[in-house]
Amino acid sequence: MPSLDGASVLLLEDEFVVALDAEQMLQELGVVRVETAATLSEAEARARAGHFDVAVLDVNINGQMSFDLAESLRARGTAVVFATGYELKDRALPNIDSALCVSKPYTSERLRQALCAALAEAK
C-alpha cells in the first residue's frame, strides 16, 4: 500500500472545524501539502492551478454535490476519496466507479486507509 509521506492533498470541506481536524490528521500522516477549499468554485480553481496526488471531497458542499469535481480530478490522474456524513453504501455515485468513501466523523486511521487505497487504485 502506498505511503502518504510527501503527498499533496486537495481537501474540500465546508465545515471549518472538520477542515481543521482533517488538515491536522493529514499532516500527522505525512502529507506535505494540504490545500483546503470551503467551496466548489475554490476547489475547482485550486485543482486547475496545481497537481494533487489525492483529493478528499465532502460530498455535499452547501447543497452542491462534488461529483463533477471528482470526475475532473480523476481525469487528471488525481485519486479521490469522498467524505460524508451521509450513508452512501447503497447509493450509486454518478459516473464514479469504485469510489472510496469515509464516513464522518472519521478517524486518522480510517482516513489513512482510504487515501492509501485510493492512491493504489489510481496507479
Q: What is the pLDDT of residues 19-49, one digit of tens each?
A: 999 999 999 999 999 999 999 999 999 999 9
- What residue spans define the domains of the chain? 8-122
Predicted pLDDT of residue 87: 60
What is the rounded (10 degree) CA torsion for 64, 70, 49, 122? 160
Superfamily of domain 8-122: Response regulator (3.40.50.2300)
Q: What is the pLDDT of residues 63-95, one digit of tens each?
A: 999 999 999 999 999 999 999 886 655 454 554
Contact 2, 116 (CB under 8 A): yes
Q: ∠41-24-32 over CA atoms, to 5°?
A: 75
AA identity, residue 103: S
For the whole model, what pTM was predicted?
Answer: 0.90
Altogether, the residues listed in the chain come to a count of 123
Predicted pLDDT of residue 1: 53
Closest CA to 106 of 26, 37, 10: 26
Q: What is the pLDDT of residues 11-21, one digit of tens each?
A: 999 999 999 99
